[in-house]
């Protein structure tokens, strides 16, 4: 133990304190959705009492009370502003959060453990938006999300096409020569297979990329690293040993932004969902409508719905103000079942 090591420990603790404070502020913003007014003296008293009662040893009651008075003051300040919350699945640092920042950096990204929680939260008004991955160039369709999309009433208000760049992250004190285990989501590990083999590193499966980064910081395992986003390195105070370690560079994930409200702008891309009767040529007749109107289709996906039934997702270039789009959709609605226009929106592509 020397001064340098101790200072590194202090830096690590500071980054944890900062992260916990951020998490606390996020929860504070969520409470706003359940309160009619910001001030709640009873609750403030309760928080201060609990925190001063538990203070022992080096932390004296006056000191911690002062800090908490400041925290509560700032919490109320934050609540006064009109924040837009956007939910994503995974831990902080997940690619959903990276995509949300690209969509709108003024939104506050809120992590959810399950995709279903993102949908439910947006539906209940807890979050203003949700952002979910629908497909990946290497991994294909994100099944869980597409299943949820079949039955949702939520609207598509945006899309982000995000290149997935993977980074090898380690604790600042870890010597790169000693690393042998690398934690990450199985898909991320598969995408870096050659890199791992070249450097004689063992892949270890973890449920989530950002989760693996968080685990490194919290559990501090020896001789270990994680594969996750650059954002995860910032959030969990990890060192980036190497950027862009993916074997192939054409790895894109397409995210959809969902909301309870319809999109106010016209957009340049539309998504619809429908199913067809079990008769020869029904799907063909739908596609024919778009072909005749010269509308460019960008994605067709069939997802099993009820046994023997399929829901079709169809994306195309156009806006709801387009006369030919309006006419085409009227026609498609006539010849399909369960038709719904999911939304017209702008898609953001990252070069």
* Chain contacts with another protein (rule: CB under 8 A): 176-177, 195, 198-200, 240-242
What is the bridge-based pairing of β-strands 337-349 and 155-163? parallel
For residue 182, the minimal CB distance to another protein (Å) is 14
For residue 178, the minimal CB distance to another protein (Å) is 9
Is the Cβ–Cβ distance between 201 and 225 less than 8 Å?
Answer: yes
Residue nearer to another protein on the CB measure, 73 or 198: 198
Q: Find the catalytic residue in 174, 209, 217, 253.
A: 253
For residue 199, the minimal CB distance to another protein (Å) is 5
Active site residue 255: yes
Q: Find the catalytic residue in 195, 255, 274, 313.
A: 255
Secondary structure E strands in 185-263 = 202-205, 224-228, 239-242, 252-259
Residue nearer to another protein on the CB measure, 107 or 195: 195
- What does the longest C-alpha to C-alpha distance in the chain come to? 78
Instruction: Give, in order, the Cα–Cα distances in Å from 318 to each of 253, 262, 344.
Output: 22, 16, 8
Distance of CA 138 to the CA centre of its chain: 18
Q: Which residue shows structure tokens 């596609």? A: 287
Residue nearer to another protein on the CB measure, 227 or 273: 227
For residue 244, the minimal CB distance to another protein (Å) is 10
Residue nearer to another protein on the CB measure, 244 or 298: 244
Question: ∠ at Cα 222 (18, 198), nearest 5°?
Answer: 110
Question: ∠ at Cα 50 (45, 51), nearest 5°?
Answer: 100
Q: Which residues does the annotation mark as catalytic?
A: 253, 255
């Amino acid at each position: 133990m020397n001064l340098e090591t101790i200072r590194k420990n202090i830096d690590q603790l500071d980054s944890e304190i900062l992260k916990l404070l951020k998490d606390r502020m996020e929860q504070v913003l969520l409470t706003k959705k359940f309160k009619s007014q910001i001030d709640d003296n009873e609750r403030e008293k309760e928080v201060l009492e609990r925190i001063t009662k538990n203070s022992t040893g080096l932390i004296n009651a006056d000191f911690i009370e002062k800090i908490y008075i400041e925290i509560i003051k700032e919490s109320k300040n934050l609540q006064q502003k009109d924040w837009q919350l956007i939910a994503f699945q995974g831990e902080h640092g997940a690619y959903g959060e990276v995509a949300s920042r690209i969509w709108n950096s003024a939104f506050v990204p809120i992590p959810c453990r399950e995709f279903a929680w993102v949908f439910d939260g947006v539906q209940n008004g807890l979050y203003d938006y949700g952002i979910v991955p629908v497909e990946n160039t290497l991994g294909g369709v994100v099944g869980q999300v597409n299943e949820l999309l079949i039955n949702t009433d939520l609207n598509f208000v945006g899309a982000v096409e995000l290149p997935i760049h993977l980074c090898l992250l380690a604790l600042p004190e870890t010597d790169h020569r000693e690393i042998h285990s690398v934690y990450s989501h199985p898909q991320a590990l598969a995408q870096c297979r050659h890199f791992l083999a070249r450097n004689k590193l063992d892949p270890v499966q973890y449920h989530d990329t950002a989760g693996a980064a968080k685990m490194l910081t919290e559990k501090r395992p020896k001789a270990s690293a994680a594969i996750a986003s650059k954002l995860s390195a910032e959030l969990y105070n990890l060192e980036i040993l190497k950027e862009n370690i993916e074997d192939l560079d054409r790895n894109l994930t397409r995210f959809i932004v969902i909301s309870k409200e319809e999109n106010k702008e016209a957009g340049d891309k539309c998504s619809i969902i429908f199913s067809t009767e079990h008769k020869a040529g029904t799907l063909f007749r739908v596609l024919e409508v778009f072909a005749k109107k010269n509308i460019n289709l960008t994605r067709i996906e069939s997802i099993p719905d009820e046994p023997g039934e399929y829901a079709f997702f169809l994306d195309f270039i156009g806006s709801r103000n387009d006369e030919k789009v309006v006419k085409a959709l009227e026609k498609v609605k006539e010849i399909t079942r369960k038709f719904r226009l999911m939304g017209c929106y702008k898609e953001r592509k990252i070069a």
